């Protein structure tokens, strides 16, 4: 068992199991992986493990602040072991590529709420959304192809409407 992961689990009061160590290794080898990707990678390390077991262990590791869960809108949760800072994420709307963005302020909450409504605010969750360079290039080639082939495809809507009426 890798000493670092074992030691981290112990220090955070998490019972050390081969599964948890493998999950820690998988998460740190592939930052921002989904639970399914973590499952794949863990299976490559220790052989068979159920999806549910991976989900449960990830939950424990998140609760113990060994793993951070990011939940981008419209996407499955992603996991990473970079937990010690207040970094943000930049996500491609097309392919889901996720990169870390250092926080310009450095500590939580890095945005000031105009009115805190009496809350003690401890975090401002920031996700930057955009289109990555490979996807922008891909879109450019696709749309130039589409422009030349656009008037060959149309009258399917009429057909399906007729079917509904009959
Ligand atoms: Zn992309
Ligand atoms: Zn990150």
SS3 129: strand
Ligand having the closest approach to the CA of 128: 2
> Quick one: CA dihedral 97, 102, 105, 108, positive or negative?
positive
Report the pLDDT value the prediction gives residue 145, as an integer from 0 to 100. Answer: 65
Tens digit of each residue's pLDDT (9 = 90 or more) over 28-68:
999 999 999 999 999 999 999 999 999 999 999 999 999 99
Q: Are 97 and 72 in contact (CB under 8 A)?
A: no
- Cβ burial of 75 (10 Å; 0-12, 13-18, 19+) is middle
Q: What predicted TM-score, i.e. pTM, was given to this entire model? A: 0.77
Average pLDDT over residues 134-138: 93
Considering every ligand atom shown, identify the ligand nearest to the alpha carbon of residue 98 and give its number. 2
- The answer on pLDDT for 150 being more than 50 is no
Domain over 85-153 is classified CATH 3.30.1490.190:
yes
Give me ligand 2 centre to Cα 2, in Å. Answer: 22
Q: Give the model confidence (pLDDT) of 22-35 as tens digits.
A: 999 999 999 999 99
Distance (angstroms) between ligand 1 centre and the Cα of 71 equals 18
**For the chain, what are the domain ranges?**
1-83, 85-153
12 DSSP assignment? T
CA angle 115, 117, 128 (to 5 degrees): 55
The residues placing their C-beta within 5 Å of ligand 2, an ion, are 80, 100
For residue 22, report the distance from its CA to the centre of ligand 1, in Å. 29
- Options 1.20.1050.140, 3.40.50.300, 3.40.50.720, 1.10.10.10; CATH for 1-83 is 1.10.10.10
**Residue 90, helix vs strand vs coil:** strand
Distances from the Cα of 130 to the Cα of 91, 95, 134, angstroms: 6, 10, 12
Taking the CA of 33 as reference, the closest ligand is 2
CA distance linking residue 89 with residue 105, whole number of Å: 14
CA 47, CA 89: separation in Å to the nearest integer?
32
Nearest residue to 139 via CA among 69, 99, 92, 74:
92
Q: Of the ligands numbered here, which is closest to the C-alpha atom of 90?
A: 2
């Amino acid at each position: 068992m890798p000493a670092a992961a074992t030691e981290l689990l112990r220090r955070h009061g998490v019972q050390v199991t081969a599964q948890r160590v493998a999950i820690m290794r998988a998460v740190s080898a592939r930052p921002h992986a989904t639970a399914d990707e973590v499952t794949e990678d863990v299976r490559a390390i220790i052989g068979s493990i159920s999806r549910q077991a991976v989900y449960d262990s990830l939950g424990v590791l998140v609760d113990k602040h060994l793993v951070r869960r990011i939940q981008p809108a419209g996407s499955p949760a992603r996991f990473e072991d970079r937990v010690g800072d207040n970094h943000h994420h930049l996500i491609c709307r097309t392919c889901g590529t996720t990169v870390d963005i250092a926080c310009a302020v450095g500590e939580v909450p890095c945005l000031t709420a105009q009115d805190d409504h009496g809350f003690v605010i401890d975090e401002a969750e920031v996700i930057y959304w955009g289109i990555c360079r490979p996807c922008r290039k891909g879109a450019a080639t696709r749309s130039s192809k589409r422009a030349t082939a656009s008037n060959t495809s149309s009258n399917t809507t009429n057909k399906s409407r007729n079917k509904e009426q009959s």
